[in-house]
Amino acid sequence: MSDCILFAKRNDMAKKKEKEMEADFSAEERLKEAAIKVFTQKGYAATRTRDIAKEAGLNLALLNYYFRSKEKLFEIIMMEKLQQLFEIIIPLANDPSTSLDKKLTAIASEYIDMLSVNENLPLFILHEIRSNPERFVSKMQVTKIFSDSVMIKQIRERRSDINPIHFVINILGMVVFPFIAKPILFSSGQVDDKAFGVLINERKKLIPLWVKAILKAK
């Protein structure tokens, strides 16, 4: 019984703390953060603006007051998230002063760190782009990774006999795929959140090693 009271009190305090933390952000910021959470989790089509408002602890009218429409709010978030994905790799892949090996280490490490705190990002982006390719294609500076990047040139120097895109696909796949396949890994029962954390941390060191190995493979 006293346990119950203590527990209730602790819960109250946690709630209060939460409220206070929320209060540090404006309604606009809270709606945007809520929208990021819900959109990236469920995708555009499956999210209801009511869910976003509820997640933010605010009401639906505010969403339209600040962002005009679900569509416009989505567009803002999508652009930000595309930016977030590309701003990591483009400068790293185009740095002429680093070796290919250094690039691999940097990309694996920085991408995995970013995705660890944005686990839903890859699947969200990939799903939304496919639902509406023409809409976002122009916004993506993919050329800067896949065709005329310094990294592509460095890969070509090592393996002129294989299309360098193969290796870019492999690097990105090794980094991104675990996050995309997470629900499947978990369903095996062999992986939980802790084990997943260990795995992706190991991959920071393993991926550069692996990529060097496949660059040599005959």
Partner DNA sequence: GTCTATAAGGGGATAGAC
Partner DNA sequence: GTCTATCCCCTTATAGAC
Q: Which two tokens stand for residue 25?
A: 């952000």
Check residue 41 for interaction with DNA (CB under 7 A): no
Least Å from the CB of residue 57 to DNA:
8
Candidate residues 5, 21, 61, 184; the one interacting with DNA per rule CB under 7 A: 61
Check residue 59 for interaction with DNA (CB under 7 A): yes
Binding-site partner at residue 90 among DNA, its own copies, none, CB < 5 to 8 Å by type: none
Check residue 76 for interaction with DNA (CB under 7 A): no
Burial class from Cβ neighbours inside 10 Å (0-12, 13-18, 19+) for residue 92 reads buried
C-beta closer to DNA: residue 38 or 100: 38
Check residue 21 for interaction with DNA (CB under 7 A): no
How far is C-alpha 171 from the geometric centre of its chain's CA atoms? 16
Please report how many Cα atoms fall inside a 13 Å half-sphere around the Cα of residue 23, on the Cβ side.
Answer: 6
Binding-site partner at residue 71 among its own copies, DNA, none, CB < 5 to 8 Å by type: DNA
Binding-site partner at residue 86 among DNA, its own copies, none, CB < 5 to 8 Å by type: none
Buried b (16+ CB within 10 A) or exposed e, 131-169: eeeeebeeeeeeebbbeebbbbebbeeebeeeebeebbe
